[in-house]
Amino acid sequence: MKSKMNPSNNIGKPQRTVKRKFPARIVGVSVVGLGSLVYGILFHALLMHTNSDTTTSLQQPDATDDATSTSNIVNNKNDDFVWNYPSDQDLSALQQCFPANSKNWLQGPRHGNNPLQDDLMDDDFVTNMILFGSHLSTKQGGSSSSSSSSSTTFSTETILQQSMCHPDSRFLNATDPLTDDRSMQLWIVRLTFMSMHRIQHQFAVPEVTPSRTTLSTECQRLTNTYQIGKYDYECPAGRFLLVPIENLGLGAVMRTTVLSGLLAAMATNRTVLFINHAPVGPKPIRQAWYHASCDRMDVQCFFHPPSPCVLTHAQLEQAPVMNQFRNVTKLFKNPLNMMEEPFFKNEPVIVLPLKTVTRSISKSIPMRLQEFTVRVRGSLNETDPRRTVLQKVAERFVSNVHRDKVNQLISYGLVLYAMRPHIQSQNELRDIMQQIVPPSSTKAIPAVTLGLPIRGTIRMSVRQLIVFDSMTDFCFISFHFILISLGQMHRRE
């Protein structure tokens, strides 16, 4: 008899019991590529405890829930979602506060970004995130308050610091002028991360005006009343791919669905929005993500919003679904040809359900990254020592000799970008890291560090288990640990 599938997720395969080879308290993370996501041990723990008082049930609300509404508040037919529509007077005031936004977007309803992080974002942080483009800062470090809307150069470090990288990671050093092979590999990951950030924020740039970044007291009251978050922008000229994340293992969806969504966005110059549990729209984007730990039931419970662009419910409802196999295949194999297809060319918003399949990187992506690198290099002063290494990296992006390695590094950069924790999670992660990772002035010792490849042989020498000096360039190895026992961590004196 076939096993019944769990209706609360869409795994689609009978469940089976897996015999454990290691004690349950041992948590492992891959050292091969991004594998099972090295930082997973930490953010998985946070996923389990962040907002632990919030229900994570996938069931729809009881049909007996109160369905009454005022003239301004409407209950959504598919969920307990409510929306507070502004009065004519307040809508007129909103238009004065946000002259760059349309009446329809201000009125809503909108599928906004996670509002719980608003208090942790200041205006300079948001401005720097959106206006960052191809300019590299010459500063050794950056902060969320180091730039303003009138500045033309924005701190690269501020952008890179949104990653999960340890503060001592070489990945965060965007001033590195070295031209050795390892340094160039890091630059490939770094530039991929930066380029993806630009693509995800490009359509919000026209809305970053002084009136938006310096709201009056009355405008702030209206934004709070009518659910316009600090990281919510209309992006009226935007072109989007809406990618729902499947209910499979976190490592699997990151390396397949999420990575594929980012590859499609980069290849077609569209912004990708990872949407689950939307109150309206096609079925794929209305399904909850069971790894979530908050009422949103999507990746924003832990991760930073993929983009400041926020769509209205009308846009979600009208978005067509691209589910034909031949079209999806063409999108990844020949993205430039797909961009000329009437369906793809004429639709600003497309729902793109993706199976957990590893996608190859089209030739257009290294070419786009080469162009981005050339622009970055061109923005630097003639005497900047990084111009030499950036020239070499630009050439390597399209080199046939280095193609396989470059594609691997591009994947690293994209997954690293997708895994940016939101500010609260990032602060908690850093607190944990300070407790379990020795400071930069202290050498990690074998007694508290151990490395082990997942899905690989365990027939390794002691030296192979604890020595990873050749991989410490990357942020996910620079913590000097690969596998940690949480049980021992809490008992350690």
User: 278-292 pLDDT, tens per residue?
Assistant: 999 999 999 999 888
For residues 145-153, give the mean pLDDT: 38
For residues 153-166, give the mean pLDDT: 78
130: CB partners within 8 A, 6+ apart: 201, 204, 205, 208, 233, 308
pLDDT at 329: 87
pLDDT over threshold 50, residue 3:
no
For residues 412-432, give the mean pLDDT: 89
pLDDT at 434: 73
* CA 304/CA 204 separation, integer angstroms: 16
pLDDT over threshold 60, residue 423:
yes
pLDDT at 184: 95
Q: Where are the domains of the chain?
A: 26-49+437-491
- Work out the pLDDT band at 485, boundaries 50, 70, 90: very low
For residues 4-30, give the mean pLDDT: 36
Residue 133, amino acid: G
Enter the DSSP assignment of 203.
G
pLDDT, tens digit (0-9, with 9 covering 90-100), for 230-252: 999 999 999 999 999 998 888 88
pLDDT at 33: 35
pLDDT at 133: 60
pLDDT at 51: 44
pLDDT over threshold 50, residue 125:
yes
Phi–psi pair at 233, nearest 5 degrees: -130, 150
Q: Are 436 and 483 in contact (CB under 8 A)?
A: no
Phi–psi pair at 243, nearest 5 degrees: -115, 115
For residues 35-48, give the mean pLDDT: 44
For residues 413-430, give the mean pLDDT: 90
Q: Calculate the average pLDDT of the chain.
A: 74
For residues 186-205, give the mean pLDDT: 95
- 321: helix, coil or strand? strand
Length of the chain, please? 493
Dihedral angle sign, alpha carbons of residues 171, 332, 393, 34: positive
Q: Which residue has the higher pLDDT, 180 or 122?
A: 180
211-220, 242-251, 359-368: segment of lowest average pLDDT: 211-220
* CA 45/CA 59 separation, integer angstroms: 24
Q: Are 107 and 86 in contact (CB under 8 A)?
A: yes
Q: Hey, which of 111-125, 165-179, 242-256, 362-376 has the most confident mean pLDDT? A: 362-376
What is the number of alpha carbons within 13 Å of residue 70 lying toward its C-beta?
Answer: 7
Q: Which residue has the higher pLDDT, 56 or 113?
A: 113
pLDDT over threshold 70, residue 397:
yes
What is the pTM for the complete model shown?
0.76
For the chain, the 3-state helix, strand and coil shares in percent, each to the nearest 5, are 40, 5, 50
pLDDT over threshold 60, residue 54:
no
Q: Which residue has the higher pLDDT, 147 or 96?
A: 96
pLDDT at 443: 52
pLDDT over threshold 60, residue 31:
no
Q: Which residue has the higher pLDDT, 479 or 280?
A: 280
Enter the DSSP assignment of 205.
G
* C-alpha closest to that of 268 among 322, 311, 211: 322
H helix runs in 98-167, sequence order: 103-107, 123-131, 156-160
pLDDT at 442: 52
102 sits in the region (left: phi over 0; alpha: psi -120 to 50; else beta) called beta
- Work out the pLDDT band at 122, boundaries 50, 70, 90: confident
* CA 88/CA 338 separation, integer angstroms: 43
Q: Are 82 and 75 in contact (CB under 8 A)?
A: yes
CA distances from 482 to 233, 238, 353, 415, 424 (A): 39, 40, 33, 18, 24
Residue 39 CB neighbours (<10 A) = 21
- Work out the pLDDT band at 34, boundaries 50, 70, 90: very low
pLDDT over threshold 70, residue 53:
no
Residue 281 CB neighbours (<10 A) = 24
* CA 94/CA 86 separation, integer angstroms: 9
pLDDT, tens digit (0-9, with 9 covering 90-100), for 251-262: 888 989 999 999
Enter the DSSP assignment of 255.
I
Residue 317 CB neighbours (<10 A) = 11
Q: Are 222 and 90 in contact (CB under 8 A)?
A: yes
pLDDT, tens digit (0-9, with 9 covering 90-100), for 315-327: 999 999 998 777 8
pLDDT over threshold 80, residue 478:
no
Which pairing describes strands 26-27 and 484-485: parallel, antiparallel, or unpaired?
A: antiparallel
* CA 157/CA 170 separation, integer angstroms: 11
237: CB partners within 8 A, 6+ apart: 203, 206
* CA 85/CA 131 separation, integer angstroms: 30
Q: Are 269 and 365 in contact (CB under 8 A)?
A: no
pLDDT at 154: 55
Residue 462, amino acid: V
pLDDT at 27: 32
For residues 158-180, give the mean pLDDT: 87
Residue 251 CB neighbours (<10 A) = 18
